[in-house]
């Protein structure tokens, strides 16, 4: 559905998921850093910090089902389909635009349209984040909450240690992605234009 120079990219279910996910991820990052910082004192007690992290993690995990199921049953899934043609050329072209082209008057190589919500570089990163990093951080998080389900040893290395490393590594990766995501979202007609879109559902071309 479109209106003049606007495209309705973000239906209510997607905006609901995005809002819950954004707030949850920020809380998880803060509590995760606090738990692993080695600081003996923090704004809240260590036990409360763990509970907040675990409860928020459970909410974000359940919320992920909304994203996953929503992408299965709606047209939103078409934006995550990767075409094999020019598999590497397209994201490299977009990366060149971000690094040099947009600062020198170059037109965006992959402008958004009703059939393209993400440029190739965004699409690849979103797929990696949403279908690899997030599931891994959820599964490893559940394992750390219930360590009895984890293998005791994996190649003579503690299963809990491996699970904790995977959880921290994926959490760090998602944190870096969040910073990049916010920066890219500020690129538009105005720094706040794309943020307005995720609130009202409409993206301005």
Where residue 12 sits, what CATH number does that domain have? 1.20.950.20
pLDDT digits (tens, 9 = 90+) for 137-196: 999 999 999 988 888 887 888 989 999 999 999 999 999 999 999 998 888 777 777 888
Asked whether the beta carbons of 120 and 94 are under 8 A apart, the reply is yes
Average pLDDT over every residue of 107-128: 92
Q: Which residue has the tokens 């293998």?
A: 151
Domain holding 107, by residue range, is 2-204
| Structural domains in the chain (count) | 1
Average pLDDT over every residue of 84-108: 93
**Residues with Cβ < 8 Å from 115, sequence gap 6 or more?**
78
Asked whether the beta carbons of 6 and 202 are under 8 A apart, the reply is yes
Asked whether the beta carbons of 200 and 9 are under 8 A apart, the reply is no
Q: Is the pLDDT of residue 24 over 70?
A: yes
User: How does residue 1 score in pLDDT terms, banded at 50, 70 and 90?
Assistant: low
pLDDT for residue 40: 52
In three-state secondary structure terms, 11 is coil
Per-residue tokens: 25: 């991820």
Asked whether the beta carbons of 117 and 71 are under 8 A apart, the reply is no
Asked whether the beta carbons of 25 and 141 are under 8 A apart, the reply is no
Q: Give the residue among 52, 48, 49, 50 at the shortest CA–CA distance from 23.
A: 52
pLDDT for residue 203: 83
């Amino acid at each position: 559905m479109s209106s003049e120079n606007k495209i309705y990219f973000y239906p209510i279910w997607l905006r609901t998921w995005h809002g819950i996910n954004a707030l949850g991820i920020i809380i998880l990052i803060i509590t995760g850093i606090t738990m692993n910082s080695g600081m003996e004192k923090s704004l809240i007690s260590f036990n409360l910090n763990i509970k907040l992290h675990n409860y928020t993690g459970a909410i974000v995990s359940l919320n992920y089902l909304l994203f996953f199921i929503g992408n299965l049953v709606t047209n939103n899934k078409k934006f995550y389909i990767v075409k094999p043609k020019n598999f590497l050329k397209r994201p490299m072209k977009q990366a060149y635009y971000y690094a040099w082209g947009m600062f020198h008057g170059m037109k965006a190589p992959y402008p958004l349209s009703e059939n393209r919500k993400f440029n190739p570089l965004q699409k690849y990163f979103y797929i990696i984040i949403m279908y690899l990093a997030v599931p891994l951080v959820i599964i490893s998080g559940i394992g750390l909450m219930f360590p009895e389900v984890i293998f005791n040893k994996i190649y003579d290395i503690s299963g809990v240690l491996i699970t904790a490393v995977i959880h921290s590594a994926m959490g760090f990766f998602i944190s870096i992605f969040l910073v990049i995501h916010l920066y890219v979202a500020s690129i538009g007609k105005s720094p706040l234009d794309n943020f307005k879109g995720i609130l009202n559902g409409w993206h301005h071309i």
